[in-house]
């Protein structure tokens, strides 16, 4: 007991702090308990304020050492020069499609989102062009990274960093690079970095069927995407990053970032894809038009968000395993509390191979097929090449597991046809 007290004093003097309490990404038992109680005749002696606090996905903010400007010398969490040097070398090739975000995250000690996004702001000249305070920028990025749930296998800060890196690759494409303004690039990088901010690790149907207050707040429409957007706006205002801009420009920025993030709602896939096809069929996309550029950035962010199957097999396979783990964990919660297991979330009936083949067939191939029509470059062909190889690899796994390679995941067939895109038409 005395030694424990001594350890506490030593840790306090060394500047260590208790870890910030965060909401569990899979909705803890208190959420489920309150859900059932709310639908019964039992009176709950808990104030509305306390219920809201229990059900909120927003994690408690902590005042980190960074915000106080305190450095901790000789901390075991500080990487040596060798790791920092390797991370810098990787950033020199940040525009390569085979960029390994998992390795970069390890080299930066879990700070891939902060390091990569700050580098891209500098690389695109945004800091100088918009006269940004570098300390405010880094504080904003730290807050963004901290508000991702590290417990989530998939929807975490590493995924956000991966999407941001992919977005950078698309911004470099010839059609875009010669047409985009610094404002467009700024919106794109912020939206990419914050597009899944404070994701709870469960999907929208789960929130709706458990009557979560966010589902009620956003009327069961793009619930998560609206929450990601509003959370990003909150951090932008809290950081004061753009406080030197006019109110009109700040409001325009917040609105347009929202347009980009809301476009990542997979249930709106068919609507965006149909518009994209129509423009390509008519050949009327004019990137000198600000509205057309904004629409293309929406499509680019949609591609970046689901580009995992278009990466190399080594990277794509890791992402597939992580997203399936998150699906199955939600399914376990739904089974435990008899909520009805959501499609793709039952580990007893689903496999990674089946899920990935369905995902590629119905969502990824149509989207990237149209993107290749718009930007027929080496990168788009590389992505389609990886997509074909990865799909073939998963079919090989599927054959080994079931003895047949023609199965299609029934969960995708059961989805509402209104949200499933048509087959791609390559020109």
For residue 234, the model assigns a pLDDT of 98
Q: Is 159 annotated as a binding residue?
A: yes
Residue 30 lies in a domain: no
DSSP string, 349-403: T--HHHHHHHHIIIIIHHHHHHHHHH--SHHHHHHHHHHHHHHHHHHHHHHHHHS
Asked whether 421 and 267 are in contact (CB, 8 A), the reply is: no
DSSP string, 155-169: SSHHHHHHHHHHHHH
Residues 295 and 352 in one domain: no
Residue 243 lies in a domain: yes
CATH of the domain at 157: 1.10.1300.10
Q: Is 158 annotated as a binding residue?
A: yes
For residue 19, the model assigns a pLDDT of 35
Residue 5 lies in a domain: no
Residues 327 and 261 in one domain: no
Q: 3-state SS of the chain: helix, strand, coil percent to 5?
A: 65, 0, 35
Q: Is 195 annotated as a binding residue?
A: yes
Q: Is 124 annotated as a binding residue?
A: no
Residues 271 and 136 in one domain: yes
Residue 378 lies in a domain: yes
Residue 199 lies in a domain: yes
Residues 199 and 254 in one domain: yes
* Best CA proximity match to 382, nearest among 137, 56, 98, 59: 98
Catalytic site residues? 155
- The number of distinct structural domains making up the chain is 2
Which of 268, 284, 305 is where one domain is finished?
A: 305
Residues 117 and 236 in one domain: yes
For residue 144, the model assigns a pLDDT of 98
Residue 18 lies in a domain: no
Residues 268, 272: Cα–Cα separation, whole Å: 7
pLDDT by residue, tens only, the chain of 427 residues: 333 333 333 333 333 333 333 444 444 444 555 555 455 444 444 444 443 333 334 444 444 444 434 343 443 445 566 788 999 999 999 999 999 999 999 999 999 999 999 999 999 999 999 999 999 999 999 999 999 999 999 999 999 999 999 999 999 999 999 999 999 999 999 999 999 999 999 999 999 999 999 999 999 999 999 999 999 999 999 999 999 999 999 999 999 999 999 999 999 999 999 999 999 999 999 999 999 999 999 999 999 999 999 999 999 999 999 999 999 999 999 999 999 999 999 999 999 999 999 999 999 999 999 999 999 999 999 999 999 999 999 999 999 998 654 555 656 655 544 444 343 433 3
Residues 284 and 333 in one domain: no
CA distances from 31 to 206, 254, 336, 405 (A): 12, 31, 13, 41
Residues 83, 72: Cα–Cα separation, whole Å: 18
Residues 285 and 397 in one domain: no
The HSE-up count of residue 308 (CA atoms within 13 Å, CB side) is 24
Residue 133 lies in a domain: yes
Cβ neighbours, 10 Å, residue 81: 7
Q: Is 398 annotated as a binding residue?
A: no
* Best CA proximity match to 95, nearest among 159, 171, 158: 171
Tokens 């949609």, residue? 302
Residues 392 and 257 in one domain: no
Residues 392 and 336 in one domain: yes
174-188: burial string, b at 16+ Cβ within 10 Å, e else: eebeeebeebbbbbb
Residues 300 and 386 in one domain: no
CA distances from 7 to 12, 141, 163, 345 (A): 8, 32, 41, 44
For residue 84, the model assigns a pLDDT of 85
Which of 276, 305, 334 is where one domain is finished?
A: 305
* Phi-psi label, residue 23: left if phi above 0, alpha if psi -120 to 50, beta otherwise: beta
Q: Is 196 annotated as a binding residue?
A: yes
Residues 265 and 233 in one domain: yes
Q: Is 156 annotated as a binding residue?
A: yes
153-168: burial string, b at 16+ Cβ within 10 Å, e else: bbbbbbbbbbbbbbbb
Residues 278 and 147 in one domain: yes
CA distances from 13 to 7, 62, 70, 249 (A): 10, 18, 13, 45
Domain that holds residue 344: 308-427
Residue 74 lies in a domain: no
Quickly list H helices, 147-268.
157-171, 174-177, 182-194, 204-209, 213-217, 223-239, 247-262
Residues 265, 222: Cα–Cα separation, whole Å: 6
Which of 287, 305, 323 is where one domain is finished?
A: 305
Asked whether 268 and 158 are in contact (CB, 8 A), the reply is: no
DSSP string, 128-146: HHTT--HHHHHHHHHHHHH
What token pair was written down for 315?
């990277």
């Amino acid at each position: 007991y005395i030694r424990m007290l001594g350890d506490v004093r030593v840790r306090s003097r060394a500047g260590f702090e208790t870890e910030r309490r965060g909401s569990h990404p899979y909705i803890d038992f208190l959420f489920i308990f309150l859900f059932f109680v709310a639908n019964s005749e039992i009176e709950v002696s808990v104030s509305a304020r306390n219920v809201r606090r229990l059900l909120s996905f927003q994690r408690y903010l902590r005042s980190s050492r960074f915000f106080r400007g305190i450095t901790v010398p000789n901390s075991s969490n500080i990487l040596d020069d060798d790791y920092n040097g390797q991370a810098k070398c990787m950033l020199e090739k940040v525009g390569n499609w085979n960029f390994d975000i998992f390795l970069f995250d390890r080299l930066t000690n879990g700070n891939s989102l902060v390091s990569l996004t700050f580098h891209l702001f500098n690389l695109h000249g945004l800091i100088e062009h918009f006269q940004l305070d570098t300390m405010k920028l880094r504080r904003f990025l730290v807050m963004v990274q901290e508000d991702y749930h590290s417990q989530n296998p998939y929807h975490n800060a590493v995924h956000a960093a991966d999407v941001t890196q992919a977005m950078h690759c698309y911004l470099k494409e010839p059609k875009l690079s010669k047409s985009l303004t610094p404002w467009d690039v700024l919106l794109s990088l912020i939206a990419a970095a914050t597009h899944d901010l404070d994701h709870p690790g469960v999907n929208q149907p789960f929130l709706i069927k458990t009557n979560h207050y966010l589902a009620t707040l956003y009327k069961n429409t793009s619930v998560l995407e609206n929450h990601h957007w509003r959370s990003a706006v909150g951090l932008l205002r809290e950081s004061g990053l753009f406080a030197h801009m006019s109110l009109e420009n700040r409001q325009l920025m917040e609105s347009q970032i929202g347009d980009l993030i809301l476009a990542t709602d997979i249930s709106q896939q068919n609507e965006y894809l149909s518009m994209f096809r129509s423009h390509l069929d008519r050949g009327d996309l004019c990137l000198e038009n600000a509205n057309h550029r904004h629409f293309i950035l929406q499509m680019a962010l949609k591609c970046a968000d689901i580009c995992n199957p278009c990466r190399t097999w080594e990277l794509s396979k890791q992402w597939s395993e992580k997203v399936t783990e998150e699906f199955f964990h939600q399914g376990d919660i739904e089974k435990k509390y008899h909520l009805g297991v959501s499609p793709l979330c039952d580990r007893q009936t689903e496999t990674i191979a089946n899920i990935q083949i369905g995902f590629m067939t119905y969502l990824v191939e149509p989207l990237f097929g149209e993107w290749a029509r718009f930007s027929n470059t080496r990168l788009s062909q590389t992505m389609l090449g990886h997509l074909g190889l990865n799909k073939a690899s998963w079919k090989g796994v599927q054959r080994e597991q079931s003895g047949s390679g023609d199965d299609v995941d029934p969960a995708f067939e059961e989805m509402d046809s209104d949200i499933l895109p048509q087959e791609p038409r390559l020109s």
